[in-house]
Amino acid sequence: MKIAVVGATGLVGQMMLKVLEERAFPVSVLIPVASSHSVGKKVTFRGIEYPIVSMADGIAANPDIALFSAGGSVSKEWAPEFAKTGCTVIDNSSAWRMEEGVPLVVPEVNAHVLTENDKIIANPNCSTIQLVVALNPIHQKFGIKRIIVSTYQAVSGTGMKAVQQFYEEARGASDVAMVYPHQIYANCIPHCDVFLDNDYTREEMKLVYETRKIMGVADMPVTATAVRVPVIAGHSEAVNIELDSETQASEIKQILADAPGIKLYDDPAANQYPMPALADGRDVVWVGRIRKDESRERCWNLFVVADNLRKGAATNAVQIAEVLVERGILKAEKEGFLAESGQ
């Protein structure tokens, strides 16, 4: 299959290339696309160097799938142009997530919504992805009445320049290029994305609206606080949920242990609980610290961690593409693909 990676020089674009290679996705032709500043530079995929091309040249190459990670404004302008050629766009920006008729997909939760008519598919926000992977199995069994989530988000979620700010501050540089309004090294900033009229940030409201759309509960009560922390990779979330029915911790743990895409890691006596250092470079969502909220009936606390560049972005996008191929929505040498990917 012809695969375009739009935004191939960015953190997520680079991770998309890595994940495509690791998962043996059936790429016959790779088309790396980036801004005019990067055209002519090269990226490496499966040991071969590929020149970066412009948007127009990427469209002219007639890809089967375009994995987009180039920002919302770029996606709004160019995703429809790719789609017009019959290409299926899987977009990592926020541009299409809440658009009517555009599926917002986490394969472990709602892959069933995908159809052959979907030419633009939205990849959710990184924090939302790990949240719904962890909560949906519980919701399917017991019903969730309310979600309270506080996030602790890594600087790589903001991009390369934010990572550079962290490292410059860590080494004591005097002239730091500031991405955040405050230092991030040895600090926590309760401010992810821009503030809205309701004094929540856009990141916090993404967690509200996207969770509702993916889990299929339009009026699900969700409230969020998003905090940027001095960690390079791996988002963490402290989550409190209220259930419709009574249960036991052992039941919740068993459901999570059996659910796809989840690594149950919960043994406080052995100091075993999810941490960004464990999730770094892994595709699973780590869940632990599962305990009853003793202040309220049918309420539970849990801690959720995932690699924000992998499951929170690149891996989820590639998994969507895999679903499309496996179901025959997109044509490929299906048997060969399944054998190569070990599925």
Q: Where are the alpha helices (DSSP H) in 185-314?
A: 202-215, 249-258, 276-279
| Site of tokens 């801690």 | 303
Nearest to 316 by CA among 284, 287, 275, 281: 284
Cα gap 255→239, rounded to integer Å: 17
Q: Which of 139, 188, 235, 299 is an active site residue?
A: 235
188 has catalytic annotation: no
Distance CA 210, CA 216 (A): 10
Contacts of 13 (CB under 8 A, 6+ apart): 5, 6, 7, 32, 34, 67, 69, 70
Is residue 235 annotated as part of the catalytic site, yes or no? yes
**Considering only CA atoms, which of 223, 136, 228 is closest in space to residue 190?**
228
How far is 339 from 332, CA to CA, in rounded Å? 13
Q: What does the chain come to in residues?
A: 343
Catalytic, out of 37, 87, 126, 191? 126
Phi and psi for 117 in degrees, rounded to 5? -85, -10
Per-residue burial over 99-137, b = 16 or more CB atoms within 10 Å of its CB, e = otherwise: eeebbbbbbbbbbeebeeebbbbbbbbbbbbbbbbbbbb
How far apart are the C-alpha atoms of 12 and 17, rounded to whole Å?
9
Residue 313 CA to residue 93 CA, distance in Å, equals: 9
Give the residue numbers annotated as catalytic, written as ranges: 126, 235
